[in-house]
Structure 1
Amino acid sequence: MPDWLDVIVRSLLFLAILFLVTKWLGKKQISQLSFFEYVIGITIGSIGAEVVTGLEQSIYLGVLSILTFAVIPFIANLISLKSKSFRDFIEGKGTVLIKDGKVMEENLKKERYTIDELLELLRKDNVFQVADVEFAVLEATGDLSVLLKKENHPLTAKDLHMAVAPIKEPQAVIMDGKILNEPLSTAGKSRLWLQTELEKIGVLLDNVFLGQVDMYGQLTVDLYDDKLQVPAPQEKPILYATMKKCQADIELFALGTENKEAKKMYSLNSEKLQEAIDKVAYLLKE
């Protein structure tokens, strides 16, 4: 076999082997590497490169070496699940860099971080003042986890004692101009409904790059032709307008009747409907 063809065959073979080994080791290999896993990854890559280009090397010994190094982190992970001390040694553990708004200088030096680097990490979390931080930990992965002081937390519905509806993930019902039946069913919609919604906004299915149904049952689309303007979903504004019209009609009924009991009933229901409108107005006006 010519050398150039041998290199191509070896490259394709080891690409497949490295891909399968990485899949077997799990997603952690490409997201949060410990020092140990980082070294293992470099070593496996170096072995693969050497066997691919070193034509005098035995390909079988290269495969055996890669499999050997792949088994090591697998065994290490099994031991880590049962031993915290081993896990701390292999994967490392978090270091507190800020506590009660004060920088822990000794820990900062221990991790070989400068104050400029710490401030940069804080800015990535949209924190610009150390005094605003209650607690900050440099994780073993190199990420900085930041807990702001209570008074610096953004207000939430819970803080305001407001009841909010649970959030459901949007469903991608159209991709590359094709309808996806399973997400469409999960969203509780039919193909007929989808076709009707596309007709409302004057869009052909073939021109839709991505279509999603949100938690309110509204369809939003992204078109292949970015120059085309798509109307915003109108379901929520229409619902808000309908509720306001119903409330106004009930008030007119109250004003138009001479029956005291009917007038009282209409007035009471008008007030209840207005209370309901006030509660959902911030959702329907989005």
Structure 2
Amino acid sequence: MEILIPEISILEKIVRPMLVYFFLLLAFRLAGKRELGQVTPFDLIVLLTISNVLQNAMIGPDTSLGGGIVGALTLFVMNGILSRLTFRFPGLARWIEGKPTTLIENGHIVEKNLRREVMTLEELQRAMRKHDLEWHELGRIKRALLELDGSVTVQLRNG
């Protein structure tokens, strides 16, 4: 039955995942929207490495089944609480998730927003092609937004 008994206190098993959860929330918020929607092989390597490092930080010396269940349950509860809070308080949701970023406005590229999101013109062109638009058709675009999930949505002008 030792497999079920955590080697560290239950309180520590709860606090460690909570701290990691908040760290990751902040880290992904600072990473930007583009990083969430476009995972390159390099990004995948970083994510896998981070998950291994943080897994060790979450469990500490405890490898018991009971400790793992407490840690996982803590993460599920944290996520559920945060989901409900962001639903109830839209201002909190905007602070945590951010808001869409305008990349093109009335056929003109908003270069300061591209720089802020660390998005190249080539990436913007690629996003336009996904909407069957070529670079010379920039004037047809009323607005293009970098959404919270990293995707780009395009609204065309009327007529």
Report the TM-score, using the length of structure 1 for normalisation.
0.35
Structure 2 partner of 1:97 = 103
For 1:100 and 1:58, the matched residues in 2 are separated by 58
Equivalents in 1 of 2:89, 2:51: separation in Å? 25
Query: Structure 1, residues 204-253: CA drift from partner, whole Å, max 9, x if none?
Result: xxxxxxxxxxxxxxxxxxxxxxxxxxxxxxxxxxxxxxxxxxxxxxxxxx
Structure 1 position 77 matched with structure 2 position 89: no
User: Rg larger in 1 or in 2?
Assistant: 1
Structure 2 gaps of 5+ residues are: 4-27, 30-35, 37-46
Provide the alpha-carbon RMSD of the alignment. 3.0
Count of aligned pairs: 111
Instruction: Compute the displacement of 1:85 (Å).
Output: 1.8
Give the equivalent residue in structure 1 for 2:63.
57
Of 102, 108, 114, the match for 2:114? 108
Give the one of 127, 138, 146 matched to 1:130: 138
Percent identity of paired positions between Structure 1 and Structure 2: 28
SS across alignment from 2:143: strand
Matched, 1:142 2:134: no
Distance (whole Å) between structure 2 residues aligned to residue 57 and residue 74 of structure 1 = 25
Mapped to 2, the partners of 1:146 and 1:119 lie a distance apart of: 12
CA distance in 1, matches of 2:67, 2:146: 40
| Greater RCO, 1 or 2 (C-alpha within 8 Å, sep 6+) | 2
Measured after TM superposition, the shift of residue 126 of structure 1 is 0.8
**1:137 deviation in Å?**
0.8
1:47 and 1:65 in contact (8 A); partners too: no
Unpaired runs of at least 5, structure 1? 1-5, 7-34, 152-286
Point out 4+ residue stretches in structure 1 off by more than 3 angstroms.
none
- Give distance in 2, aligned partners of 1:90 and 1:116: 28
Distance 2:133 2:119 in 1: 18
Is residue 47–residue 66 contact of structure 1 (8 Å, CA) maintained in 2?
no
CA contact 1:97–1:138 (8 Å) conserved in 2 = yes
Matched-pair contact (CA < 8 Å) for 1:99–1:134: yes
